[in-house]
Each structure stands twice: as C-alpha cells, then as structure tokens.
Amino acid sequence: MSTLADKVQRELTKAIEDDQLVLPTLPEVALRVREAAEDPDVSIPTLARVIGNDTALTARIIKVVNSPLLRTNREINDLQTAISRLGINYTSNLATGLAMEQMFQATTDAVDRKMREVWNKSTEIAAISHVVCRNFTRLPADQATLAGLVHQIGVLPILTYAEEHGALLGDSISLNHVIDRIHPIIGEKILRTWEFPEPIAAVPGQYLNFSRAADKADYVDIVQVATLQSHIGSTHPYTQLDWNQIPAFARLGLDPSTLLEEDEDLSAAMDAAMSMLQ
C-alpha cells in the first residue's frame, strides 16, 4: 500500500472511530417514502402523493412495473395503479433504492465519473441480486434489489474526502485501494445511522467476507454471489478465487461452476432487471 493510501486510510479510520466522519443524509424523498411506509395504515393514494412529488422517481416506478420482469397484460401509466400492482413494501424499498442515485453526483468531473462508475456497478449487482433472490430463495426480491443498490454506499464519504484532497484524487491506485479497504466499514455505519433493517444494514460490511458462516441464505449471500457473478469474464481478482470454497453458494443452492449467464431464462431475467433499474 502506498504511503498516501496508508495515510488516508488511517485518517478515515480514526474519523470513523471518533464519530467525526460526516456521513451522507438519506435523500429527502426517500425519508418521506420510508416514513409513509412505516405507517401500518398507509394507503396507496397517500404513498402515491409522496412519491408523486418527485417526477423522475415517479417515472422510474412506472418503468419498473412495465418491465418484462413484472409486466402484466396491460400497460400501466399511472402511479397509483403501479403501487397497487407492486405493493406498498415493494414500492417503498424500490423508491428508497432508486432515490440513492441523487447522491452519486459530484462537483468535479473526476469524482463524478467515479461516482457514476460506482452507481452503475451497484445497479448491475442489484439486478443480479433481484434475479438470484427470486429464483433461489424465498426472501422478498425488492429487499435484495435495495441491498444491491446500497451495498457500496460507503464509497461516497471517501470520494467526498478525495474531492477535498487533490493528492488522493490524482492517484487512482491509492484511491481505489482506500475504497476497497474502507468502504465496507463506512457503508455499514451509514445504513445503521439511517436505521435500515438489520438484514440490509449488514450487507456492506459483510458481502466481501468470502468465508462467512451463517445459518441460512440471506441478503449478504445474495449480494456476495451477485458481486462475484458480475466479474465473470474479467481479470478481476475475484475471478481467481476458488468459488467452491465460498459458503454463500451452498446456502443459496447454487453450483459455483454454473454461470447464471449460461441459463437463457436467468440471463434474460438479468437483462430485464438491469434495464428496469437504469
């Protein structure tokens, strides 16, 4: 590790330990959606009014409900019908996850490009997570999608730090090293600060623990396997791991030597999920 990366890692780690790291706040629309969804008596029109204040998010929800993965025999063009089709929990989780994209923006081109890269990877892993969850578990797929969308949320404070420290921004190797080492710790802290449910809050800090033990398949397993699958065909170090030794595959009932892309139905579902989230 370079001297610069080591220095930045120490500074960020100390800031986390001293509770002095400035964490991002949840987008306002996501806060309002979560608050509405937590009301057991919330109605579809009420949730539609909350989401409807954000025209871009409204369009995304309608796009999702009309995607090949979820499409019914007729096209849906209004938000209330879309929420009725998806359900309140599914809609609120999806809206919360998609609202995150607002956070992946920066004032400098270099950081903005990196944030775009991270968000695009997150949507890819969210799409694979959705398909893995639907086909290999009984867990709600909307929560797997949300877990995929937020699993790299810890990168944001690191890039904010880099934006304020030109030396790190100009050294992409050191920056990537710091991101790889620190983002899981920060990500878990952010989601716990935001009071995300424990099964999702645990994902950032655990999804890269390839020897992790668990009683049964969970969202950490799903995002971990989705992450590995997303690097197939690349030279990424994860492709050099012995996937047969990674317990998450066994918990999901997946053969590590069987690539999801090779199954036509699963491949089509992943493409549909990807377009649904973009």
Kindly tell me the burial class for residue 53, based on how many C-beta atoms sit within 10 Å of its own C-beta (0-12, 13-18, 19 or more): exposed
Q: Where are the beta strands (DSSP E) in 86-221?
A: none
The whole-model pTM stands at 0.91
Structure-token pair, residue 157: 């404070």
Q: Is 59 part of any domain?
A: no
Containing 110, the helix (H) or strand (E) segment is: helix 109-136
Rounded to a whole number, what is the distance in angstroms from the first to the last CA of the chain?
Answer: 35
Which residue carries 């952010």 as its tokens? 190
Number of domains in the chain: 1
Q: Is 58 part of any domain?
A: no
Q: Is 77 part of any domain?
A: no
Q: Is the dihedral of CA 124, 126, 129, 130 positive or negative?
A: negative
Q: Is 152 part of any domain?
A: yes
d(CA 80, CA 265): 30
Q: Is 184 part of any domain?
A: yes
Q: Is 50 part of any domain?
A: no
pLDDT of the chain, 278 residues: tens digit per residue: 568 777 887 888 888 788 888 888 889 999 999 999 999 999 999 999 999 999 999 999 999 999 887 766 788 999 999 999 999 999 999 999 999 998 998 888 888 899 999 999 999 999 999 999 999 999 999 999 999 999 999 999 999 888 887 777 778 888 888 899 889 999 999 999 999 999 999 999 999 999 999 999 999 999 999 999 999 889 999 999 999 999 999 999 998 887 777 778 888 888 888 888 87
Name which of 193, 186, 140, 149 is nearest 8 in CA terms. Answer: 186
Give me the domain span that covers residue 252: 3-24+103-277
